[in-house]
Amino acid sequence: MKRVPFSLQLRASLKGIKTVLRDFRYAAAAVFFAVAGLGIILWSLNYSLLGFVLFESGLPIGTKVSFVFGIYEGLFGLVDNLQSIIFVVFAALFGINLSLLIYVIVKRARFSSTHIKSAGGFAMAILAGGCAACGASILAPILLSIGVTSLLAVHYIGILVAVLGIILTAWSLFQLGKLAATLSKI
In the complex, the smallest distance separating the C-beta of residue 45 from another protein, rounded to whole angstroms, is 4
In the complex, the smallest distance separating the C-beta of residue 164 from another protein, rounded to whole angstroms, is 17
∠ CA 31-109-12, nearest 5°, is 60
Q: Helices (DSSP H) in 71-154: which residue ranges?
A: 81-111, 119-128, 132-153
> Between 4 and 52, whose beta carbon lies closer to another protein?
52
Q: Rounded to whole angstroms, how far apart are CA atoms 103 and 21?
A: 10
Q: Rounded to whole angstroms, how far apart are CA atoms 137 and 127?
A: 11
> Between 67 and 171, whose beta carbon lies closer to another protein?
67
Where along the sequence are the contacts to another protein (CB under 8 A)?
25-26, 29, 32-33, 36, 40, 44-49, 52-53, 56-59, 63-64, 66-67, 69-71, 73-74, 77-81, 98, 101-102, 105-106, 118-120, 122-123, 126, 138, 141-142, 145, 148-149, 151-153, 155
> Between 12 and 102, whose beta carbon lies closer to another protein?
102
- Distances from the Cα of 66 to the Cα of 61, 62, 77, angstroms: 9, 6, 18
Q: Cβ distance 164 to 90 under 8 Å?
A: no
> Between 89 and 109, whose beta carbon lies closer to another protein?
109
